[in-house]
Structure 1
Amino acid sequence: MSINSALMAGVSGLTSNAAAMAAISQNISNVNTVGYKRVQAEFSTLVNNQQQGVNYSAGGVMASTRNFISQLGQLQRTTNSTDLAIDGQGFFVTTEKAEGLDAGDARLFTRAGAFRVDDLGYLRNTAGLYLQGWPVDDDGNVALDPSDLNRLRSINVASVGGAAEATTRAQINANLKSSQAISAEAAAASTVPAGAGAYDPAANSMAQYDAVAGTGVKPDFAISLPVSDSKGGQRTLTLNLLKSAVPNQWYAEIVATPASDVVSGAPLADGQVKTGIIAFTQDGRLDTAAMAALGADALFADVADATLTFGASDAAAPGAGAVNWATDLGIDDQTVTLDLAAAAGGLTQYDSDSIVQAVITNGTPFGSLIGVEIDEQGFVTANFDNGVSRRIAQVALATFPSTDSLTSISGNAFRVSRDSGTYNLKAAGTGGAGLIAASQLEASTVDLSTEFTGLITTQRAYSASSKIITTADEMLAELINIKR
């Protein structure tokens, strides 16, 4: 009968408003939870089948919970470089374990980006979920796949270890004094036949110079070039220079210091790497045309291609004029390009004191990890105390056709549901996934003023539903008392 239906309608009102109170309580308790998405109870009517001429029968109300997962929270600045937020619709891909993943392990999606480096070096958020990304290969490339979760790996910054970079380029800014007195050895070398004690890069060289033993020829000037090898070890090359009796020309030898660092093929000896003549114009600049004309006698016939090539330590014995790193060093082959004619200076010959203004080389010695940075494209970069930066991985983001239909789970994360559609993996900044903001966190989308207002209205609605039940109960009591 209709009184009974009123009782049931009151009960449905109590149940639905209790569900609304639970949703509000969930929101308020997570007002400070990073990346939390508010939920809301939405009501819909229940109507019983009505027949003409029959008294009305109340159906009641039903509450269903709606997730506002697609609603974006405000980004807030932090001081931790591994705190991450997403300025867009993407989600971080995470797993519940860091290692030994297979196709059957669950992948969870979250916006809670408070990641920290754990004791094993993995990036893990406060819910214990491990951040996934595509690894970067040795060439700095990333193999992206929009649908294969198995290509992702837990990002580990501790596995990088140290880093070193071999020197590939050296720029020399130095001046050689044009009025440098010509030594007896250089003067003797200019006569035909050569005089006694004449400079000779093979028989009486600057590389052989030893003041105590009285051997070799003392350079007029020397320039040291620091070089980092493939292991980050520090090697030294020295450019020895001797003023020639020919105007605007200098004898030059590039030697390894100590000489034992290299193994040279004849006619090179005593640590020599390269020998020849450097020529200058009458206005003191490097004379590229004259050096090209000298050909094999020039230190570098083509100044634009002034390269020194070192074979690996385990390479075969060097041929004529070739150089290998010493066997006991155990290092890789290396090519160093010398910039002798830099626009800002280079090697010059002016009538001023011989002086080195600057020697600029790339390459670095071994360095230890000092920090991690993540850019807006999601590249995780390890920084070392020797100035080297190396990319480790790229953070993967996932998007869904129906974001609000994802299934919520504990840890402020979500699973794929039937209604959400399948995931699409994307790099940050592509396909609407959004950019990654480092040192920022997404705030909860809960608005306390809205929730407290909802508390009041829900409480009143619950009280009103209870009044329906008490009123219907009184009416039934009156009906029962008719029999008296």
Structure 2
Amino acid sequence: MSINSAMLAGVSGLRANSAALASISQNIANVNTVGYKRSQADFSTVVNTQSVYTGYSAGGVTSVARHNISQTGQLQSTTSSTDLGIAGQGFFVVTQKAEGLTPTDARLFTRAGSFKVDEFGYLKNTAGLYLQGWPVDDNGVITTDPSDLNRLSTINVGSVGGTAEATSRAQLNANLKSSQTISPEARDAALAVPGPNAYSPATNSMAMYDPDNGVGVKPDFEVTIPISDSKGGQRTVAISFLKSTTPNQWYAEMRAVPADSVQTGAGLTNGQIKTGLVAFTQDGRLDTAAMAALGANALFADPANAILTFGASDSTPAAGAVSWAGGLGIDDQTIAFDLTNAAGGLTQYDSASVVQAVQTNGTNFGSLTEVQIDENGFVTAIFDNGVTRQIAQVAIATFPSPDSLSQVNGNAYRVSQQSGTYNLKTAGTGGAGVLGSSQLEASTVDLSSEFTGLITTQRAYSASSKIITTADEMLAELISIKR
């Protein structure tokens, strides 16, 4: 009977508008949920098959929930460097546990990037989901894979301890006064038969100089260079210069300060590291040709390749070599000295002997102070000694049909048959979008639209109830025909 179909159509209207109310309620409740995507109820008609001459039968209405997952919200600034937002269509890959992941453990996807460092150093968002990424291997290389979730691991910043970087390069910018008065010890050394006080790197050296005891030779000029060892300890290398009687030549000694910080092989004493001559051209620059001609007598036969090598503490130095002192327990070290820099280097001009600049790399021990994530997803640890170290790269997943993902608790999603399979990408490539550090994606809920929808849904529900009331009255009239 048509009246019965009208009543059933009214019931379907009540059911459909109840679903719409539930969807609106969910949206309003999550107006401040980070990365939340609004949902809505889409209505469609239901048409019954009609038979000729039997009257019209109302089918009613049905509702289907539609999740606008691909709709992006505005990125809003925060004060936490581990808060992340995606400006694009990608999703963070997350898991429900941090360690012991197996291929059967669920991998979820979310836009909720409110990550914080938990008590074990893992990046976890407010829903308790852990951020996944490609880790840095032992060689400092990140290997990405677009299709294998098992290559990902939970990003952990707590495993990054303090760090130190040994000095491997030193640049010297200094001048030696060309008119420096030649010392008596240097004059004695130039005699055919050296005088009793003659300078000698083996028996009467600058490294032996002690004014209190009246031994050794006072340098005409000295430069000290701070260096860091393999443990971040601070060491000092001094270069002493004594002008020779040969024009444009200086005696030079490199030594450790204090002397007991190194152990030396035969031919070196009092902490000496290297000894020899330094030659200059007539226009005051280092004379590489002259030093090459000096060969083993030069401080460095090739000033452009001035390499200083320290053996490890547990090694015994050979003749003419040097190692760190055994009690220090530090690793071997090679330092390249830049003495021929075009903007300075080691020069000999007729002005005061002076150090213009000494620049070295390497740092002392530093503790982790901050974690930063750039727009390409690289997670970098920053230490208070200025050293930075990459930890991992955040993985971004994209889908052919993101609106078809299945929703799960925690404002996250799961792959469905309709969504298509995932593609793992690095941020900024293939439509994945770039990452915004210290930013969070706001909910896509618009309260004005939701409250308007609330009014229309309420009225539609009321109207559907009127259909049932009217049909009921009509049936009552029909029943009352025979009394």
Q: Which of the five TM-score ranges fits, normalised by the shorter chain?
A: over 0.9
Look up the match of 2:332.
333
Q: Tell me the alpha carbon deviations over residues 171-195 of structure 1, each in whole angstroms, 9 at most, x when there is no partner.
A: 1111112221111111111111222
Inter-partner Cα distance in structure 2 for 1:79 and 1:461: 45
- How much has 1:2 moved relative to structure 2? 1.1
Inter-partner Cα distance in structure 1 for 2:250 and 2:395: 59
Q: Which amino acid aligns with 1:132?
A: Q
Inter-partner Cα distance in structure 2 for 1:168 and 1:138: 20
The answer as to 2:465 corresponding to 1:466 is yes
Q: Which amino acid aligns with 2:391?
A: I
Q: Name which of structure 1's ranges 285-294 and 62-71 shifts more when overlaid on structure 2.
A: 285-294
Q: Which amino acid aligns with 1:142?
A: I
- How much has 1:95 moved relative to structure 2? 1.3
Inter-partner Cα distance in structure 1 for 2:375 and 2:328: 41
TM alignment of 1:2-21, pairs within 5 A: 2-21=2-21
1:226 aligns to what SS in structure 2?
strand
Look up the match of 2:474.
475
Look up the match of 1:29.
29
Inter-partner Cα distance in structure 1 for 2:422 and 2:353: 67
- How much has 1:325 moved relative to structure 2? 1.6
The answer as to 2:454 corresponding to 1:455 is yes
The answer as to 2:103 corresponding to 1:85 is no
Inter-partner Cα distance in structure 1 for 2:328 and 2:412: 52
Q: Tell me the alpha carbon deviations over residues 171-228 of structure 1, each in whole angstroms, 9 at most, x when there is no partner.
A: 1111112221111111111111222221111222111222233322121111111010
- How much has 1:381 moved relative to structure 2? 0.5
2:159 aligns to what SS in structure 1?
helix
Q: Which amino acid aligns with 2:126?
A: T
Inter-partner Cα distance in structure 2 for 1:138 and 1:325: 27
Look up the match of 1:312.
312
1:179 aligns to what SS in structure 2?
coil
Q: Name which of structure 1's ranges 343-352 and 51-60 shifts more when overlaid on structure 2.
A: 343-352
Unpaired segments ≥5 residues, structure 2: none
- How much has 1:147 moved relative to structure 2? 2.2
Number of matched residues? 483
The answer as to 2:104 corresponding to 1:140 is no
Inter-partner Cα distance in structure 2 for 1:15 and 1:208: 99
CA RMSD of aligned residues (A): 1.3
Look up the match of 2:224.
224
- How much has 1:257 moved relative to structure 2? 1.1
Inter-partner Cα distance in structure 1 for 2:144 and 2:71: 27
The answer as to 2:391 corresponding to 1:392 is yes
Inter-partner Cα distance in structure 1 for 2:464 and 2:249: 106
Give the TM-score normalised by structure 2.
Answer: 0.97
The answer as to 2:382 corresponding to 1:383 is yes
Q: Name which of structure 1's ranges 176-185 and 157-166 shifts more when overlaid on structure 2.
A: 176-185
Q: Which amino acid aligns with 1:328?
A: G
Q: Tell me the alpha carbon deviations over residues 281-316 of structure 1, each in whole angstroms, 9 at most, x when there is no partner.
A: 22222222221222221111111101101122223x
Look up the match of 1:346.
345
Look up the match of 1:199.
199
Q: Tell me the alpha carbon deviations over residues 14-54 of structure 1, each in whole angstroms, 9 at most, x when there is no partner.
A: 00011011111111121111111110100111111111111
Inter-partner Cα distance in structure 1 for 2:430 and 2:194: 76
Look up the match of 2:251.
251
Q: Tell me the alpha carbon deviations over residues 142-176 of structure 1, each in whole angstroms, 9 at most, x when there is no partner.
A: 12122222222211111101011000111111111
Q: Which amino acid aligns with 2:407?
A: S
Inter-partner Cα distance in structure 1 for 2:124 and 2:329: 39
1:26 aligns to what SS in structure 2?
helix
1:308 aligns to what SS in structure 2?
strand
Question: How high is the sequence identity, in percent, across the aligned residues?
Answer: 72
Look up the match of 1:435.
434
- How much has 1:263 moved relative to structure 2? 2.0
1:159 aligns to what SS in structure 2?
coil
Unpaired segments ≥5 residues, structure 1: none
Q: Tell me the alpha carbon deviations over residues 307-339 of structure 1, each in whole angstroms, 9 at most, x when there is no partner.
A: 101122223x22232222222211111111111
Inter-partner Cα distance in structure 2 for 1:303 and 1:68: 67
- How much has 1:140 moved relative to structure 2? 1.8
- How much has 1:67 moved relative to structure 2? 0.7
Look up the match of 1:102.
102
Give the TM-score normalised by structure 1.
Answer: 0.97
Look up the match of 1:444.
443
Inter-partner Cα distance in structure 2 for 1:334 and 1:402: 55
